[in-house]
């Protein structure tokens, strides 16, 4: 009999298995023995000194955790003192690292693009520990997930079609997660061969100068003092934090710009041995870079971003001061200098507020540029659209700013947080006029709306910066939202603590 029915039209879905890999701070951690949640659940650990000191103290890495690497996983298996339970499910914040949105939207976006929700697996990991250690764990988990998913696809006749290829892997990784994916694929070439694409969102391949500021918090004017003091003490013990140290020339010496040494890091408050291991990895990647298969980098831009550092002395202590410019390096690896003065050429490359643009790319990938802040990129509508398009193997290209120049709206919030009752200064950059621009603040925990803020500009300001004052009336995690009417809104999180009545 001739076929007379109308041919079916199917929804556009990918057959591949997807894995969501969060960034630093992006996994909920718990004490394995007691089940006590240590990170990412109770905001009181960031706002209540009596609660927070215990939590932050429990997160210090011990000697075994500091030494753990890929060989540890190979010969002994995973460490068990602290377990990564799940991906972050609520907004979070830390001084310098600033706000981080949950990964719920990213996971749901991929689930809608796959044959079934089971095709998408989260990979929570203990972000306190070394990238190489977590990369080895990811390689195991990714292989197991791909095997299960291939068996599931093979068992569903409606999913089998003539000529269809075997499902492969797609990774969607934010921040440090991109480094973990790179480590996993570098350690397991067979897994790399089974990977179709890697999407990195704000991954600091060259590191982030802001990491030094986190290790140097003891000498910063952060509030409340108890929080910055305990965050610094915790960060000093963590291999994962040290793995985010900048490996590029970032230390301004006046007529020269140097790479950090382990001694520099120790002088700024870090751990010399952990720094040495991290900086050695940067050197190895400079000599023998690893190209991830199908790599697409989503890079945030137009946000004020610390790119290099000055060293100053205050009361005999080394203080790192962040600068919003980088230095050009020629094809010969030497600094580009002004021919008249010999001074190294400075250039503001911008970034996503945490990772500057050159660090967020490897040079071998397709790049998509976004106006957005580092910690909130995974909830950015345009980022989610790009992730879906890549998952569905849509044609892709490079997206620039609206005029192709990369210039656009930027948002600056206090990266050390604030105190209730004291004014916070919020800044908007890259816009010529406040006309049609909305800047507002609301509670990120309750959704309680706030009042729109008034933007003003000094007539003599050459940097096109507009400012607004916000006086929080209560301790909370607040979301600042910049809406220009012509771009996807940019948001950032700011923690406001109770008044700090105690001294150091």
Contact 155, 219 (CB under 8 A): no
Examine the pLDDT at 91 and tell me if it is beyond 80: yes
Mean pLDDT, the chain, rounded, equals 88
Examine the pLDDT at 284 and tell me if it is beyond 80: yes
Residue-wise pLDDT tens digits, 140-191: 999 999 999 999 998 888 776 645 678 999 999 999 999 999 999 999 999 9
Q: Please report the pLDDT score of residue 167 as a whole number.
A: 92
Question: Higher-confidence residue: 421 or 83?
Answer: 83
- For the packed helices 225-237 and 49-58, what is the interaxial angle rounded to 10 degrees? 10
Residues above pLDDT 90, as percent of the chain: 60
In the numeric block, which tokens belong to residue 132? Answer: 């190489």
Q: Which residues share a beta bridge with 69?
A: none
What's the per-residue H, E or C state across 271-315?
CHHHHHHHHHHHHHHHHCCCCCCCEEEEEEECECCCCEEEEEEEC
User: What is this structure's pTM?
Assistant: 0.88
Q: Please report the pLDDT score of residue 447 as a whole number.
A: 80
What is the three-class DSSP state of 117? helix
- For the packed helices 381-391 and 104-113, what is the interaxial angle rounded to 10 degrees? 30
- Domains of the chain by start residue, with CATH: 17-391 (3.40.50), 410-497 (2.60.40.10)
For the segment 347-361, the average pLDDT, to the nearest whole number, is 94
Q: How many residues does the structure list for the chain? A: 504
Going by DSSP bridges, is the β-strand pair 490-497/476-483 parallel, antiparallel, or unpaired?
antiparallel
Q: Write out the DSSP string of 188-227.
A: -HHHHHTEEEEEEES--TT--THHHHHHTGGGS--SSHHH
């Amino acid at each position: 009999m001739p076929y007379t029915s109308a041919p079916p039209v199917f929804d556009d879905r990918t057959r591949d298995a997807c894995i969501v890999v969060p960034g630093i701070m992006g996994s909920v951690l718990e004490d394995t023995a007691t089940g006590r949640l240590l990170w990412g659940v109770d905001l009181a650990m960031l706002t209540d000194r009596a609660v927070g000191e215990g939590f932050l103290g429990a997160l210090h890495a011990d000697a075994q955790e500091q030494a753990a690497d890929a060989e540890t996983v190979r010969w002994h298996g995973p460490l068990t003192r602290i377990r990564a339970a799940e991906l972050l499910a609520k907004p979070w914040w830390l001084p310098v690292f600033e706000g981080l949105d949950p990964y719920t939207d990213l996971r749901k976006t991929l689930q809608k693009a796959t044959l079934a929700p089971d095709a998408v697996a989260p990979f929570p990991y203990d972000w306190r520990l070394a990238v190489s250690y977590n990369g080895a764990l990811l390689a195991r988990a990714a292989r197991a997930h791909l095997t299960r998913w291939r068996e599931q696809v093979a068992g569903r006749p409606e999913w089998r079609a003539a000529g269809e290829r075997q499902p492969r892997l797609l990774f969607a990784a934010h921040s440090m997660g991109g480094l973990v994916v790179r480590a996993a694929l570098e350690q397991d070439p067979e897994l790399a061969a089974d990977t179709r694409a890697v999407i990195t969102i704000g991954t600091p391949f060259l590191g982030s100068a802001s990491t030094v500021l986190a290790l140097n918090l003891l000498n910063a004017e952060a509030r409340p003092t108890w929080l910055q003091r305990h965050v610094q003490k915790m960060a000093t013990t963590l291999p994962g934090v040290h793995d985010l140290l900048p490996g590029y020339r970032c230390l301004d010496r006046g007529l020269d710009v140097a790479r950090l040494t382990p001694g520099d890091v120790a002088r700024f408050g870090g751990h010399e041995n952990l720094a040495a291991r991290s900086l050695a990895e940067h050197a190895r990647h400079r000599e023998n870079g690893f190209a991830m298969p199908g790599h697409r980098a989503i890079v945030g831009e137009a946000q004020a971003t610390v790119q290099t550092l000055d060293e100053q002395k205050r009361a005999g202590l080394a203080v790192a001061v962040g600068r919003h410019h980088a230095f050009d390096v020629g094809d010969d690896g030497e600094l580009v200098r002004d021919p008249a003065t010999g001074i190294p050429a400075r250039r503001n490359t911008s970034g996503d507020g945490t990772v500057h643009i050159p660090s967020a790319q490897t040079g071998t990938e397709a790049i998509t540029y976004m106006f957005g802040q580092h910690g909130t990129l995974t909830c950015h509508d345009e980022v989610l659209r790009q992730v879906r398009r890549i998952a569905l193997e849509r044609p892709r290209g490079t997206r620039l700013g609206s005029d192709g120049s990369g210039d656009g709206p930027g948002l600056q919030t206090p990266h050390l947080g604030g105190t209730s009752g004291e004014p916070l200064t919020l800044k908007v950059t890259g816009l010529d006029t406040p006309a049609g621009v909305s800047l507002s603040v609301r509670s990120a925990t309750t959704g309680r709306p706030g009042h729109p803020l008034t933007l003003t500009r000094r007539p003599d300001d050459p940097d096109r910066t507009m400012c607004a004052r916000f006086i929080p009336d209560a301790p909370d995690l607040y979301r600042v939202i910049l809406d220009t009417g012509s771009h996807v809104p940019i948001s950032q999180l700011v923690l406001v603590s109770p008044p700090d009545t105690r001294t150091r």
